[in-house]
Chain A
Amino acid sequence: MVPFNILVAVCLVYVGLLFLVAFLVERRAHARALPWLRSPQIYTLSLSIFCTAWTFYGAVGYAVRSGWEFMTIYLGPTLVFVGWWWVLRKLVRIGKTQRVTSIADLISSRYGKSNMLGVIVTVISVVAATPYIALQLQSVTLSFAVFASSAADGGPVPDKAATALWVAVGLALFTVLFGTRNLDSNERHLGVVTAIAVEAVVKLVALVAVGVFVVWGLAGGPADMMAKINASALSSWDLQPGRWAGLIFLSAAAVLCLPRMFQVMVVENVDERHLATASWAFPLYLFLMCLFVLPIAVAGLDLLPPGTNPDLFVLTLPLAQGQDGLAMLAFLGGFSSATSMVIVASIALATMVSNHIVMPLWLSLRPAQAVSGDVRRIVLLSRRLAIGGIVALGYAYFHLSGGSAALAAIGLISFVGAAQILPAMLGGIFWRGATRMGAVCGLLTGAGIWVYSLYLPSFGPDGVISARLIAGGPWGIGWLRPQALFGVEGMDPLIHAMFWSLVLNATAFFTGSILTFPGPVERVQGAAFVNVFDGEVPAGGWVRGAATAEDLLILSQRILGGDGALAFFEAEARMQGKAGPLPDPTPGFVGALERRLSGSVGAATAHAMIAQTVGGAAVSVEDLMAVANETAQIMEYSAKLEAQSEELTRTARQLQQVNEKLTRLSVQKDSFLSQISHELRTPMTSIRAFSEILMEGDMPPAMARRHATIIHDEAIRLTRLLDDLLNLSVLENAGVQLTLGLVSLQDMIDRALVAAAQTRPERSFTVHRDPASEALYVTTDADRLTQVFINLISNARKYCAAPEPELRIAVRQRGGRVMVDVIDNGRGIPEDSQALIFEKFARLTDETRAGGAGLGLAICREVMTALGGSIAYLPGQGGTAFRVTFPLRLQEVA
């Protein structure tokens, strides 16, 4: 038996050896030596990380449990490499031209360099990889346990958890040492890849050795073995076509989408031609790995006691046969499988975590800092921490899931998770219509269903979600049961989860893509990805076409301006070694020009313009739509600017109007004050002069009385003026209190005629009235309306110059409104003055002074407004004519 301590020592030596290989290779690679290291064989062997401990140990267990079905896991990748190598070639080409660093970077870059997508893919990948890493820990732990328990002569028998912990710590340390020794802009790790290739050889040799031992050592050669297989129960397992198809599809998807596969296949690829070799050599490797699975399974069932864990037959069979050396080799093979997977997976995931989560966060948190050499340290640190974190997550999963589930089941959970990236990836490289929104919808939908229907239930009933929920659905909703979504029952849980997650993922992806329109960056990236083979220039690529340099120069001058375009063309011509401003329209030059133009007019527009000029590539509908989109954005922007400037103009106009109004008001105020001053000073002058005369005394009483009378009259005139002013001020400020009542119109007119008769009482007027029309009862403020009539009649008495003065008062009623016309037979008011008469102090003539201050009509207008009516001058009536209009029934204002 192999003592446990020696086993540990062998592991350490083996790891040390691998480290040495990696170290030497990287040093030589620096010196550009060892060209064979960049060979297709190394590439193919590095792809073998598809075969993890799951394959090494688990395939036999899978075969024991489900017969031939284990083959599906290897048929999928075989089909991809043999039949779909052109997909791989496209991925590799895109990876190189776009300098893709991980699968998250690929998706993010394709959909307009969306960091959100990078984060989503990273999170999905980390979550999906966690069970897988746990699986590796579990297999190494189990294999240690086998040796430990079979070591009869004692020695320390570690418990499983402690072993797993040490394995995890060791792997994390190993990966940090290997994978983050330095930074490469292409994220290539030649040393690691070579070490992985060494491990690939070790695991293949180990498995084949065990197989050979079983076939030729235990059985009597191939023929005997075939007979045994045919006799065993394994070959009689039913083939379930649905499950087979599903699993083949799943493993095919996984080989494309697993982050570690993407790492070795695309990122670490140094030469696209290596794919040609890998397309047959990798399936061959898989075939060899599978070749002895059934023999080992059959032999294990035959020879080992019932109840032995079939996942460990590879190890326990040689041990049981006393083949310690072979067992040791098998152990190293399994160890290699597990370590290579964990190393590459955690490097790939750490790159994603650091590039898409840690660095954006760090950069946004420290925007002002100089981004220089400091970054390198941060990146390395974040990678190392991420590696530790990812391995720790795997350990946590191992711990939580109890480390008991069969290896194959755990691996398949990861496969379904990784497969969620497939629609966005394939759509992204084959369909230009795929959009960011579609990718986000698809990824989130698929990942959500995967977590809900497969990942969480994998912790077992009452692990994370309760058994009741699994059996009855959340809130008792049957069609939401995690393992019977939409009421589909009786399906294998794995196939069920895979079916729903991928179907809804793809549906969401397509729907989202069709409903949304890609932005300019997304459009350029989409074209670069889908048309990656079309030319050496990523964005479209231009063939040497019909375009002449002159055409392009004319085009460019319209966009860049005459001098700018000329300078660019001259510089390009100089680079081609030509004199003058016209370079040859090589694809490189046209590509550079497009990039230059896209800086001014947007990528899509630039592409469409060049396409039209060059004529080599047709302008697609999408191109035109993109141009329209860009134009629409520009137009929207300029419309916004226009609106803003319109608003400014409007504001300026309003300000100007307000300013004019204020100026006008100010002038009016000055003029008003000046008028008032005049109106006050005039009577004051008489009063002062005559009172000074009176003060001197010594004059006949008759003369003194005459002077006192003048003083008295002027004092009254002053009082009246002040009354008018106060009255007007109250009316203008709407502080007027109306006293409404039902009054006879005829009475009001009678009162007005009597009151107005005091004005120039010496004149006798003939008044024409129609008493019948005046027989109206009006609801209004009688005193105020009468005042208006008094003012009008007084004005007529004052200013009507006719020798036989007449006054006509006509009343009409129409539709609830009453009109009263007051017309005299004087000269009337000249047409150009009619607009002024209602203004304050608008007395037109001083010819006939009657003590008025020119406020009468202004007061009338304010009163009529307060009474809900109006006053207007009526031209063409032979004399001065005013019409007063007011409501028959004035309503009290609430």
Chain B
Amino acid sequence: MGNHVLVIEDEPNIVEAIRFILMRDGWDVSTLSDGDRAEDTIRSCRPDVVILDVMLPGRSGLEILAALRADAATRSLPVLMLTAKGQGRDRAEAERIGASRFMSKPFSNTEILASVRALAGV
């Protein structure tokens, strides 16, 4: 198993926090701030875990997830969904579409780290 994490998130400070936490733990971190290029980026850089925000400029996180699950190559890719809306409806929707994990913002650093580790099978 590799250690490449792709963070798709539009809020620069949050991206910086996640990157700091993961890189300190020894992960390779790539970042992306809009939804339109998400699928292409995933196909080209083949991350081991994707951290995907629900609310993104361009395509929403849920649309991207649905597209990933429809593609055989990415069907089993671990995806950790993040949302700031904190409503049960988003969680249910994300799980229905096939999110591997779902976390509400704000999250604790140990929690996100543990989730990434678990998803990567480490």
On whether the two chains bind one another, the answer is yes
Listed in ascending order, the chain A residues whose CB lies under 8 Å from chain B are 674, 677-678, 681-690, 692-693, 710, 713-714, 845-847, 849
Residue total for B at the interface (Cβ-Cβ under 8 A): 24
Question: A689–B105 Cα gap in the complex (Å)?
Answer: 10
A684 touches B85 (CB 8 A): no
Identity of the chain A residue whose Cβ is nearest the Cβ of B56 in the assembled complex: A846
Neighbour of A693 across the interface among B12, B14, B21, B105, CB < 8 A: B21
Q: Can you spell out 6 A-B residue pairs with CB atoms less than 8 angstroms apart?
A: A674-B87, A684-B105, A685-B11, A689-B21, A689-B107, A846-B10
Interface residues of chain A: helix, strand, loop or mixed (majority):
helix
Which of B10, B12, B34, B85 is within 8 Å of A674, CB to CB? B85
Contact residues, B96-122 vs A (CB, 8 A): 104-109
8 nearest CB pairs, A to B: A689-B17, A686-B13, A681-B84, A685-B105, A685-B106, A688-B106, A846-B57, A678-B84
Q: If A682-B11, A684-B106, A846-B57 touch, does A689 touch B18 (CB 8 Å cutoff)? A: yes
Q: Is B55 an interface residue (CB 8 A)?
A: yes
Closest B-chain residue to A670, C-beta based? B87
Contact between chains at A677 and B84 (CB < 8 Å): yes
Q: Which residues of A contact B16 (CB under 8 A)?
A: 686, 710
A689 shortest CB reach to chain B, Å: 3
Contact A677 B13 (CB under 8 A): no
| B2 contacts chain A at the CB level, 8 A cutoff | no
- Residues in B with CB closer than 8 Å to A683 are 13
A686's nearest neighbour on chain B, judged by CB, is B13
Q: Given the interface contacts A677-B85, A677-B87, A693-B20, does A685 sit within 8 Å of B107 by beta carbon?
A: yes
The residue that A710 contacts in the complex, of B13, B21, B56, B109, with Cβ under 8 A, is B13
**In the complex, A686 Cα to B107 Cα: how many Å?**
9
- Would you call B12 and A849 a contact (CB within 8 A)? yes
Q: Is there contact, CB below 8 Å, between B17 and A690?
A: yes
Alpha-carbon distance A682/B18, docked complex (angstroms): 13
CB-CB < 8 A to B11: which residues of A? 682, 685-686, 849
Chain B residues 18 to 57 lying within 8 A of chain A, measured CB to CB, are: 18, 20-21, 34, 55-57
Closest to A845 in B: B57
Whether A681 lies near B20 (C-beta < 8 A) is no
Nearest Cβ on chain A to B17's Cβ, whole angstroms: 3
Chain A residues whose CB sits within 8 angstroms of the CB of B85 once the complex forms? 674, 677-678, 681
Distance to closest chain A CB from B8 (angstroms): 13
Please tell me if the beta carbons of A687 and B57 are within 8 angstroms of each other in the complex.
Answer: no
Q: Are A847 and B57 in contact (CB under 8 A)?
A: yes
Chain B residues in 8 Å Cβ range of A681: 84-86, 104-106
Report how far A686 CA is from B108 CA in the complex, Å.
10
Of A678, A687, A692, A713, the contact of B55 (CB 8 Å cutoff) = A678
Query: A residues within 8 A CB of B55?
Result: 678, 846
Cα distance, A674 to B18, chains bound together (Å)? 24
Max count, chain B CB within 10 A of own CB: residue among A686, A710, A847: A686
**Apart from A685-B14, A689-B18, 14 more pairs, CB < 8 Å:** A677-B86, A678-B84, A683-B13, A685-B17, A686-B16, A692-B109, A693-B21, A714-B13, A846-B57, A847-B34, A847-B57, A849-B10, A849-B11, A849-B12
Min CB–CB distance A447 → chain B (angstroms): 87
Residues of A within 8 A of B104 (CB): 681
Task: State whether A686 and B57 are in contact (beta carbons under 8 Å apart), knowing that A681-B84, A849-B11 are contacts in the complex.
Answer: no
Complex alpha-carbon distance, A692 and B108, angstroms: 8
Do A682 and B105 contact each other (CB < 8 Å), given the known contacts A677-B84, A693-B21, A846-B10? yes
Give the chain B neighbours of A677 by CB distance below 8 A: 84-87
Q: Mark B72-99, 1 if CB is under 8 A from A, else 0.
A: 0000000000001111000000000000
CA distance in complex: A681, B84 (Å): 5
A682 to B56, CA, bound (A): 12
* A681 and B13 alpha carbons, distance in the complex (Å): 13
Q: Contact between B109 and A689 (Cβ–Cβ < 8 Å)?
A: yes
Identify the closest chain B residue to A692 (Cβ): B109
Of all chain A residues, the one with the shortest Cβ separation from B55 is A678
| B17 CB contacts on chain A under 8 angstroms | 685-686, 689-690, 693, 710
Of the listed residues B18, B20, B105, the one surrounded by the most CB atoms of chain A closer than 10 A to its CB is B105
Residues of A within 8 Å of B56, CB to CB, are 846
Chain B residue at minimal CB-CB distance from A848:
B57
Q: How far is the CA of A860 from the CA of B14 in the complex (A)?
A: 30
Whether A689 touches B57, Cβ cut-off 8 Å, given contacts A678-B84, A678-B85, A681-B84, is no
Min CB gap A666→B, angstroms: 15
Q: Nearest Cβ in chain B — how far from A545, in angstroms?
A: 83
Docked pose: A683 CA to B55 CA in angstroms: 14
Query: Which A residues are CB-close (under 8 A) to B106?
Result: 681, 684-685, 687-689
